[in-house]
Amino acid sequence: GQNIDQPTEMTATEGAIVQINCTYQTSGFNGLFWYQQHAGEAPTFLSYNVLDGLEEKGRFSSFLSRSKGYSYLLLKELQMKDSASYLCAVRDRDYKLSFGAGTTVTVRA
């Protein structure tokens, strides 16, 4: 199975940068995903990493180190609408996703 850890809450100022870390232990790694979820809504896909390194997508970037069991999601130029829960999810060889508890990011003016 997977054991996924991420911080519970983070607060940052509009326009700033926030980095959300995720560590995992897995019995069969087959990719790591980051999702954004607003309250009462379904998760929205943000990024996918399967090889080591940085993937950049606009204001969002995600990094993976498989040897360290570590990933982070970087949010740049924070906007108020970025206030949400961010979920780290690890996929196994059966294509099942296991989710971390989520990190609630609050963006303040």
Residues touching other proteins, count (CB under 8 A): 24
Q: Does 31 bind other proteins (CB under 8 A)?
A: yes
DSSP string, 15-78: T--EEEEEEEEESS---EEEEEE-TTS--EEEEEE-SSEEEEETTEEEEEETTTTEEEEEE-S-
User: Could you say whether residue 91 binds other proteins (CB under 8 A)?
Assistant: yes
CA distance 2 to 99: 9
Least distance CB 101 / other proteins (angstroms)? 5
Minimal distance in Å, beta carbon 16 to other proteins? 25
Binding test (CB under 8 A) with other proteins, winner from 69, 90, 100, 107: 100
Determine, following the binding rule CB under 8 A, whether residue 12 of this chain makes contact with other proteins.
Answer: no
Applying CB under 8 A, the span of 14-22, 35-43, 64-72, 75-83 interacting with other proteins comes to 35-43
**What H or E segment, with its residue span, contains residue 107?**
strand 103-108
CB crowding 80-99: b at 16 or more within 10 Å, else e: eebbbbbbbbbbbeeeebeb
Q: Confirm or reject binding of residue 109 to other proteins (CB under 8 A).
A: no
User: Based on CB atoms, which residue is closest to other proteins, 39 or 109?
Assistant: 39
Interaction site with other proteins (CB under 8 A): 30-31, 33, 35, 40-45, 48, 50, 87, 89, 91, 94-102
